[in-house]
Amino acid sequence: MKPRIHYTKPSITELEVRYATDAAANGWGDKCYDYINRFEEAFKAHLGVKYAIATSSCTGALHMGMAALGIGPGDEVIMADTNWIATAAPIVHLGAKPVFVDILPDSWCLDPDLVEQAITPRTKAIVAVHLYGNLCEMDRLFEIGEKYGISVIEDAAEAIGSVYHGKRAGSMGKFGAFSFHGTKTLTTGEGGMFVTNDPDLYVHVLTLSNHGRARGQIKQFWPDMVGYKYKMSNIQAAIGCGQMERIEELIYRKHEIFSYYREQFKGLPGILLNPEPDGIVNGAWMPTTVFTSETGITREKLQAAFDEENIDARVFFWPLSSLPMFDPVQSNQNAWSIPERAINLPSYHEMNDDEIVRVVSVIRKVTQEMA
């Protein structure tokens, strides 16, 4: 059997191992925050934002940011139906209601026109998820947010390396949230980052992140509010520091693999790959192929073809409104239809040319068989 090609795995070098080892051996006592502070500073500089808080997950960053905005029972938060549940979970945990709208057929991100139609007096925020490194139409979403007095939040979990007209994904909204899960372009194993340019929001989330203990509080073990425990460990941050020193290399390699796929799929009928329109840089976290319904190519046929070649390929996110804990919104036609004819392609940093060619060959073979 041919060697297994995994859809993703992290790029860890001696640098990250050395930093993590140092944190494990020496990062205690008065040094227990050294790598965390260093990681936050490096991430702020990369993103071009004023404030950053390392967290245990992107979900935690979203949860605290939403809580600090006052989102709670009776409120509504608009988001795309196509997402991982991690975006919706904090909304539900806060007692608010996620309102699922359809996605655009090309970027698979929020449809701004449908966002505006979904606004009610109870709408408190819009969550712009930059799916698979694709970017939402931020200018339009900001116009809507300003018109109705609604915050626009960026879930940039999958968009490290993506750039919207000169601004990095996650740096534009009321706040941004990132994931450093082991599948992501930059990893700390598990982990996330909350970022913002709003000083008051930063202070509030910083307090929430440590059981409600304000940084300036001089009383020992005195919380100022009921908060959360969403802090990143110093050892995780040490890995993140190593990754940040390699961030341009990591982003470049992701885009290099994406560009190769894009070049190889040119001329193949009925196939769409992640878009990269003028003024946009796609961080290319997860190259994804979506086939038109006319091709007859389905998710199941794609999975079977990849399994036959011992290649690990991920399915496109199911619509959240199709899950048993939510009410179905089958009028979201793109969100319900696209997953049935799409697949995520392998794109880990250390993929070699032969492995990439094997992936391309599967897509070509499936396309030719259905022609």
Model pLDDT for residues 322-361, shown as the tens digit of each residue: 999 999 999 999 999 999 999 999 999 999 999 999 999 9
pLDDT band at 222 (very low <50, low <70, confident <90, very high): very high
What would the two tokens of residue 72 be? 């709670």
In the predicted model, is pLDDT for residue 371 greater than 80? no
Q: Does residue 237 surpass a pLDDT of 90?
A: yes
Q: What are 118's two structure tokens?
A: 């979904």
- What confidence tens digit (pLDDT) does each residue in 247-303 have? 999 999 999 999 999 999 998 999 999 999 999 999 999 999 999 999 999 999 999
- Euclidean distance between CA atoms 133 and 162, whole angstroms: 6
Q: Locate tokens 């009610």: which residue? A: 120
Q: Is the pTM of this model over 0.85?
A: yes
What is the arithmetic mean of pLDDT over 241-251?
A: 98
Mean pLDDT, the chain, whole residue set: 96
SS3 state at 189 = strand
Angle between helices 34-47 and 234-245 (to 10 degrees): 40
Mean pLDDT across the stretch 140-165? Answer: 98
Using a pLDDT cut of 70, give the percent of the chain over it.
100
> Which residue type does 84 have?
W
Separation of alpha carbons 64 and 38, rounded Å: 22
In this prediction, residues 192-209 reach a mean pLDDT of 97
Domains of the chain with CATH codes: 14-101+108-245 (3.40.640.10), 247-370 (3.90.1150.10)
Report DSSP state, residue 226.
-
Looking at residue 267, what is its pLDDT? 87
